[in-house]
């Protein structure tokens, strides 16, 4: 196996600039440092279902009454040491999930999603409305749709050919975080910042939906803003701070210190 030396990867010589390679590229996304955000905890939010079986039973009842269930989750991205990190929840040290949840059957998609995000991440005691205050969320593009063809745990990024009535559709949206924000997580959950390289090709730990996020974000170029508000690196070419290695961080909730988490996956 050929090994690329550190000197070859981080040469002191300037790179050779290729011709422009940005045709049909989405707009560049600006990411702010993890240190810009404030994290806290709020009252416990017990899970609605004591088991996976109970959750699927409730899904079946929803389908019988209202048809396909709509679920919305957000991909919230910031950076640490010039590497993108995704904010996600770990519930009861059992599984990982993105902020969001299923919508009430009669809710507007985007407004209902914002309410779900506030339930999970808004500081307690604050009243949020959609009038531009700090409770507002900038809901971006739909990055993926996952379909549940039956009352089972399996979901697919397509509708199988033999399925005409899927039981649930889960949409993942890109959410542009502002340069600062206060986020609070229920005490029975943990809020994590997980680097993209930890998610990539790691379905064994995170499940197929979360491990696909690096693929979904690969369409964007990033600008990494430092704590002084200046762009410190761009994609490609920015180097992490010397001697630092990005890793998963527990931002709020739970009792374990920052570091390794228990193996688990999202269903």
pLDDT tens digit sequence for 132-189: 444 589 999 999 999 999 999 999 999 999 999 999 999 999 998 999 999 999 999 9
Bridge partner list, 185: 41
Q: Give yes or no for residue 99 having a pLDDT over 60.
A: yes
Please enumerate in sequence order all residues whose Cβ is within 8 A of that of 83, keeping only pairs 6 or more positions apart, or say none. Answer: 195, 196, 197, 240, 246
Task: pLDDT band for 242, please (50, 70, 90 cuts).
Answer: very low
Q: Buried b vs exposed e over 182-197: b needs ≥16 C-beta within 10 Å?
A: ebbbbebbbbbbbbbe
* Separation CA 245–CA 80 (nearest Å): 9
Across the chain, mean pLDDT equals 86
Distances from the Cα of 125 to the Cαs of 94, 188, 213, in angstroms? 28, 18, 32
- Is the CB of residue 169 less than 8 Å from the CB of residue 68? yes
Q: What is the pTM of this model?
A: 0.84
Percentage of the chain lying above the pLDDT 90 cut:
67
Tell which wins on pLDDT, 144 or 124: 144
pLDDT digits over 5-35, tens only?
554 556 678 878 888 888 898 989 999 999 9
pLDDT at 256: 45
The domain 37-252 is placed in CATH, from the list 3.40.120.10, 3.90.79.10, 3.30.70.330, 3.90.550.10, at 3.90.79.10
Range 127-134 average pLDDT: 43
pLDDT at 92: 77
User: Which DSSP state fits 265?
Assistant: -
pLDDT at 3: 52
**Domain ranges (residues) in the chain:** 37-252
Cα–Cα–Cα angle for 181, 93, 207, rounded to 5 degrees: 85
């Amino acid at each position: 196996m050929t090994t690329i030396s550190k000197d070859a990867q981080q040469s002191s010589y300037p790179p050779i600039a290729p011709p422009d390679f940005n045709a049909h590229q989405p707009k560049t996304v600006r990411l702010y440092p993890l240190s810009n955000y404030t994290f806290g905890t709020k009252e416990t939010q017990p899970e609605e279902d004591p088991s996976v079986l109970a959750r699927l039973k409730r899904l079946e009842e929803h389908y019988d009454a209202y048809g396909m269930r709509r679920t919305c989750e957000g991909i919230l991205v910031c950076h640490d040491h010039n590497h993108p990190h995704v904010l996600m929840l770990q519930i009861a040290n059992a599984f990982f999930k993105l902020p969001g949840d299923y919508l009430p059957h009669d809710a507007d998609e985007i407004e209902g999603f914002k309410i779900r995000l506030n339930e999970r991440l808004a500081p307690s005691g604050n009243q949020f409305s959609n009038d531009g205050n700090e409770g507002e969320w900038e809901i971006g593009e739909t990055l993926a749709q996952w379909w549940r063809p039956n009352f089972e745990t399996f979901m697919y990024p397509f509708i199988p050919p033999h399925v005409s009535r899927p039981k649930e559709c889960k949409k993942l949206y890109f959410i542009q975080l502002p340069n600062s924000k206060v986020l609070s997580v229920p005490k029975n959950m943990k809020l994590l910042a997980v680097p993209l390289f930890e998610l990539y090709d790691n379905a064994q730990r995170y499940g197929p939906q979360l491990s696909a996020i690096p693929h979904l974000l690969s369409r964007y170029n990033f600008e990494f803003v430092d704590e002084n508000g200046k762009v410190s690196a761009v994609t490609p070419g920015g180097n992490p701070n010397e001697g630092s290695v990005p890793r998963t961080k527990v931002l709020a909730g739970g009792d374990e210190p920052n570091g390794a988490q228990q193996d688990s996956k999202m269903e």
